[in-house]
Amino acid sequence: MKAIFTTFMLLSVYFAGSQVGINTDLPDPSSILHIYSESEGVLMPRMTTAQKLAIASPATGLIIFDTSLNAFQFYDGTDWVYLSKSQRRDNYKLVKDISDLADELTAGSGSKYLLNTDYLYEINGTIVFDFPIDLNGAYIEGVDSSEDILINNSSGSLFEGSKGGGLRNLTLSGSIPMGSKNSCLTLILLQQVNYCLLIIQLLQMPVK
């Protein structure tokens, strides 16, 4: 049985110089590997996030399907990123550790994280904040609300400031402000089909 199977595989593969064609004897000239099928696809290696992170010295461009995230990811030479984010917007930052927001802490004079206006901050994992967040018109989102968590470890509220912003697919833990002398926090929870969208607006208004 093994000999028969091997013979079948050899007949299914076509070699043309440095090119390889599977189920085709005319591999595209621009390809090193051309696979043809009208009924089947290519299944990428599938693994959990823990198994992915255990890969020793991953090559830049390595692609896998992360079953924990239910998404394709590739290694960009520094981090594992989503294929859909391979062409990132200029005003984007991936946050995997609080140190990734060092510039924002500096912008907030070391007493708060002043986010960049119209920026998208993607949270990856649990981030502990020792200082409050000034949304400043920025947007913060996670991929999995059970894993992407903002923890308030400061002595006050998690959010402050005079501008609005947005949160999506996140778990918030700790003190969330409900008002001060000059500002009031309005939380609007919008239930969607498969996720909750949490929009935060900081409105300048007197509080008696």
The gap from C-alpha 112 to its chain's centroid, in whole angstroms, comes to 24
| pLDDT of residue 121 exceeding 90 | yes
Strands (E), 28-170: 33-35, 46-47, 63-66, 71-75, 80-82, 92-95, 113-114, 120-123, 126-129, 133-134, 139-141, 149-152, 159-160, 165-168
- At 59 the pLDDT is 94
Question: Does 146 have pLDDT greater than 60?
Answer: yes
Name which of 29-33, 47-51, 162-166, 196-200 the model is least confident about.
196-200
**CA–CA separation, 131 and 97 (whole Å):** 14
175/208: higher pLDDT? 175
Name which residue leads in pLDDT, 179 or 191: 179
With a CB cutoff of 8 Å and minimum separation 6, the contacts of 68 are 48, 49, 50
Average pLDDT over residues 30-49: 90
Q: pLDDT (tens digit, 9 = 90+) per residue, 159-177?
A: 888 887 888 888 888 755 5
Mean pLDDT of 137-142: 91
